[in-house]
Amino acid sequence: MVKQYSFPVYLWLLLLHAYTVQAQQNETLTIETCYTRAEQNYPLVKQRDLIAKSKDYSIDNASKGYLPQFTINGQATYQSAVTQLPIAIPGTEAPQLSKDQYKLYAEVNQTIYDGGAIRQQKNTHDINAQVEEQKLTVELYSLKERINQLYFGILTTDEQLRQNELLQNDLQLGIRKTQAAIDNGTAFKSNADALKAELLKAHQRTTELRATRSAYLDMLGMFINQTLNDNTTLAKPQQLAVSDEITRPELALYDYQNRSIDIQYQQLQVKNSPKLSLFFQGGYGRPALNMLSNNFEAYYIGGARLTWSLGGLYTLKKDKALLDNSRKTIGLQRETFLFNTNLTRRQQHADITRLQELLSSDNEIITLRESVKKASAAQLENGVITSNDYLREVNAEDQARQNRILHEIQWLLAQYNHQSTTGGPGNN
């Protein structure tokens, strides 16, 4: 009989967890994914829920203004004189009122017409929430520029690591050819030593670049709330179509602020409108409604109440002037923002054009330098040139490739910074 062993379930779960973690660490990230995750995990994003809840609570409270409003009042007074009949009636004794008087009553008011005050309160709470939420959107939007710097910094490091590996291959090729010449007695050991020293410098460069990449990955991982390691791959972003249309969230913020001014204008009109309500009052006191009775009695009174405060008319003109100044301030802020944004956009557009022209010449320079390096490798093998001559050509080609790497990443970064500046998607 063959004995069967079952694999423990917890070990399966442990292996599955390890596989999931490894898959996340080896994930290929895109810059759009980093944008989304950075915004989702930024602590400030939690404020969005607080803004929404505050708006709902405030609007709900304002709506309760349509419900009957109850008040309870009481007072006890002592007065120096009381009401008395000015004449004496024969055969009767006029009641004498007490100078200490008491009153306890409750009143209920039901609004019939408030001039739109409650509606304006709800509109105010709504627009204030939209302004605050748009301010939050503006602040979160600034994360894109920080993600751009980290993301393209990692891409630059990746390209430099690959180029450094090619440099090491060229140096190792030169060392092998020089060593063969040394073995044949046609070269000196110092020639090989010079190449080996450059190879060690290239190894040091690799160490520095990997440390830089790890630091950038650590900071990017903090923004997107994900652990990134040396195996994490970043996809090179695609080229963007440059658009000059400005659609930044700041513009929407200025619009919301102007709408808030509109609502404040409406509130001025509501403030100076008459209000109509029904009321009912019931109480107990001495005296009650009969001012000639000195007994504690219950009483009630009901009816309609019209109130119209005209004091706001004194300040109406200046109140409107203050709102006009606020609107002009918003207009100046918008104008200044567009001016500065257009300056930045034009500079970035010039950088994109300049880097594109440099990339065109970089390719031609690399082709020429590569041709010269191959010829110098053959000359080194035949003893026509020294290892220093070969090393000079290798370094010249490496520098040309490094320049192209830098120009290409700077070109893409300029496009994505331009997109962040204008606010448009701009994808091809």
Q: Report in angstroms the alpha-carbon separations of 101 from 96, 97, 293, 294.
A: 13, 9, 12, 9
pLDDT, mean of residues 368-381: 88
Who contacts 326 (Cβ-Cβ below 8 Å, separation ≥6)?
A: 261
Average pLDDT of 35-46? Answer: 89
Confidence of residue 94 (pLDDT cuts 50, 70, 90): low
Write down the pLDDT at residue 82: 82
**pLDDT, tens only, 186-226:** 778 888 888 899 999 999 999 999 999 999 999 999 999 99
pLDDT digits (tens, 9 = 90+) for 260-307: 999 999 998 888 889 999 999 999 998 888 887 888 999 999 999 998
The encoded tokens of residue 283 equal 């109480």
Q: What angle do CA 198, 201, 203 make, to 5 degrees?
A: 115
User: What is the average pLDDT across 223-235?
Assistant: 90
Tokens of 307: 């109130």
The one-letter amino acid at 153: G
Contact 209, 405 (CB under 8 A): no
Query: Would you tell me which CATH number, out of the four given (1.20.1730.10, 1.10.10.60, 3.10.310.30, 1.20.1600.10), belongs to the domain 142-273+312-422?
Result: 1.20.1600.10
Question: What's the pLDDT at 417?
Answer: 92
Asked whether residue 84 carries a pLDDT value surpassing 80, the answer given is: no
**Mean pLDDT score of the chain, rounded to an integer?**
87
Supply the pLDDT for residue 26. Answer: 61
Query: Structure pTM?
Result: 0.78
The band of 2, judged by pLDDT with boundaries at 50, 70 and 90, is very low
**φ, ψ for residue 305, nearest 5 deg:** -130, 130
Lowest mean pLDDT among 19-23, 102-106, 202-206: 19-23
Of residues 320 and 92, more confidence is placed in: 320
The span from the CA of 266 to the CA of 156, in Å, is: 56
Determine phi and psi for 111, rounding to 5 degrees. Answer: -70, 130
Determine which of 13-27, 123-137, 138-152, 161-175 has the lowest per-residue pLDDT on average.
Answer: 13-27
**Stretch (H or E) spanning 392:** helix 387-422
Record the tokens describing residue 299, joined without a space. Answer: 């009483």
Indicate if the pLDDT at residue 14 is higher than 80: no
Confidence of residue 17 (pLDDT cuts 50, 70, 90): low
Confirm if 77 and 28 have CB atoms less than 8 A apart.
Answer: no
pLDDT at 138: 92
Q: Bigger pLDDT: 20 or 84?
A: 84
Residue that has been written with the tokens 């001039």 in this structure:
115
pLDDT at res. 345: 93
* Domain residue ranges in the chain: 142-273+312-422
Average pLDDT over residues 177-182: 84
Cross-strand pairs, 72: 106
Per-residue pLDDT at 357: 92
For the segment 396-401, the average pLDDT, to the nearest whole number, is 90
Give the model's pLDDT for residue 173: 87
C-alpha pair distances (Å), 20 with each of 10, 23, 29 = 15, 5, 16
Q: pLDDT exceeding 90 applies to what percent of the chain?
A: 51
Rounded to an integer, the average pLDDT of 114-140 is: 91
Bridging pattern class, strands 275-286 and 233-234: unpaired
Higher pLDDT, 384 or 24: 384
- pLDDT at site 13: 54
